[in-house]
A = this chain, B = another copy of it.
Amino acid sequence: MGEKSQPVTMADVAARAGVSRALVSIVVRGVPGASPASREKVLRAAAELDYHPDQRARLLGAARSRTLGVVHDLRQPFHGELVESLYAAVERDGRGGAGWRLALEPTAPGRPPATAVRALLDHRCEAVLLLGPTSPAAELARLAERLPVVVLARAVEAAGVDVVRTDDEAGARLAVEHLLALGHRRLAHLHGGRAPGAAQRRAGYRAAVRAAGVRAELVAGGPGEADGQAAAPRLLHPDGPSAVLAFNDACAVGLLAAARAGGTAVPGRLSIVGYDDSAVASLPSVALTTVGQDAAALAEHAVARAVARAEDPRAPAAETVVAPRVVQRRTTAPPA
């Protein structure tokens, strides 16, 4: 119903304030070169006209876009958290001229990463952040020849690609230490086999139990609920462990369901620790103690790396490792 009026441009503001367009530009960008008096005059005119600079023109006119492209997966809740933290990081960020913006491009079944990246390149962003990309390392390396690439939350080795990820080895170690602190002395790790990250988690677990000199076993699991369920018989016998570190939350939930169905009290008789702090873990009926990634720290580092490399194209790629933390809920307690 309302009248959709012509959008007001910089020229309108300049006319109203009685100055040149260039001066309006100086004022709205907040750069030095205008007297306080005319600055105030321009800002008032802008406010009165409800002027808002056209991003398209701003981006085109400026030599640099100061835009970071983000490729994320809509189906992964953790990506949501990361994106959220990326916005926080980019808005807080003050170093090096400030004013970076984010451009989001999701992937999904039917929308491959290549499409998302293409869209970002077409918007001429200066660097891309890929969240848990599934693309082969060679493809990432190829992309990294065109612009700075930062991979988040996946351990890849690709030439020229920055990686910011969580230290899975430390995560497993922290989980073991949490269980030891509770008094557990008979531990087991329901490991993830060949799933991504599984090797590091196993290594962390092994190192931690060895250091503590406690009884510990390793049981084959996997990344799904079914894997946890299937492993139940090997863990739930009278002589079994008093605490289990599962490969991930799904696997832990499978084990948890089997344990409860079989009458094993959790955490009374068995403590269970998941990994990932996914949405399931925080459900009231699950309340799984788990190892969570520090989304804020990952985002902070990723933005810092992307900006640094965009500012200086000759800066070398680097790997940044962030420590995870144990999120204690209600599946761990001192042994009976």
Contact = CB atoms under 8 A, between A and B. Distances in A.
A98 B78 CA distance: 34
Nearest to A74: B80
Contacts of A104: 104-106
Interface string A166-207: 000000000000000000000000000000000000000000
Given A106-B84, A160-B2, A57 B54 contact: no
Interface string A60-85: 10000100000000110100110110
Interface in A71-125: 74-75, 77, 80-81, 83-84, 87-88, 104-106, 108-111, 118-119, 121-124
Given A83-B106, A146-B2, A65 B56 contact: yes
A159 B1 CA distance: 9
Contacts of A145: 1-3
A335 interface: no
24 contacts: A1-B145, A2-B144, A4-B147, A52-B122, A54-B124, A55-B119, A55-B122, A56-B56, A56-B59, A56-B65, A57-B60, A74-B83, A77-B77, A84-B108, A84-B110, A87-B110, A88-B110, A88-B111, A104-B106, A225-B285, A226-B284, A253-B283, A257-B285, A279-B279
Given A3-B145, A229-B285, 19 more contacts: A1-B159, A2-B145, A2-B146, A2-B160, A4-B146, A4-B313, A54-B122, A55-B119, A56-B56, A56-B124, A60-B60, A75-B80, A83-B106, A83-B108, A88-B110, A104-B106, A253-B283, A279-B280, A280-B280
